[in-house]
Amino acid sequence: MSDRHHPHASATRSARSAGVILIASERDGMARDESVTVKGSPVRSLQKFIEAQLTPEQRESVLSALPADYAKRLRGPLLATETIPVSVLNDMTEAAAKAKGEPLEAFARRAGRDAAGDAVKGIYRFFALVVTPTSLLSKAAQMWSGLYNRGEMRVDNQTDRSATIKLVDFPSEPAGCARVTGWLERMGELTGAKNVRVVQTQCYAKGAPHCQWTIDWQ
């Protein structure tokens, strides 16, 4: 079929020739920037979560839904220093939720909670020494920039019981937003806070200029 029937095809080729790798996304009609990457640790956490939640047949269906080169890489664990496009991580999350038969938001949020637990036991185990949500949130930007090559996490309106978290300059997708929601929720709980509540109030994927969450606790 010609490019006039598939406008993303010519746009993608033009972007590649300009040195920018894009993936066409038919879900939102926008091109997805493959240069936005995440390091191996969150990927390995998601792999571990999927392995615990899905049958071997379901896990195979997840890999089959990914581009062949990434499916091959993700059949084994990534090194912590390796990177993959965030869009692939989101596709992996979506495919796993579908295979599980669970709504994407609920599945991804549980995956994010699991990743938080892995983080404080692994590369960010020194954050386990943080004793309050307030002091943990002050480290959020450092943690984000250590894992992702794009985006800035900011903490605003911080009190001793609440805060607003903004993620700017990052092309978020629903799967990624739900993982972040679960991650923030579990991180807050790991400090010993009670009744941690995280609500996403703005989403880049839904047309907002950036993603934003409110978090409060007791």
Locate 210 and state its tokens.
């950036």
Q: Which helix (H) or strand (E) holds 26?
A: none
Q: Give tens-digit pLDDT for 164-185.
A: 999 999 999 999 999 999 999 9
Q: How far is CA 129 from CA 91, 126, 162, 203, in A?
A: 34, 6, 20, 31
> What is the rounded CA–CA span in Å between residue 45 and residue 147?
13
Q: Can you list the domains of the chain with their CATH numbers?
A: 1-35 (no CATH), 37-216 (3.90.1520.10)
Rounded mean pLDDT for each run of 10 residues along the chain, 218 residues in total: 42 36 39 85 94 97 96 91 95 98 98 86 58 75 88 90 94 96 89 91 95 94
Return the pLDDT at 92: 97
pTM: 0.82
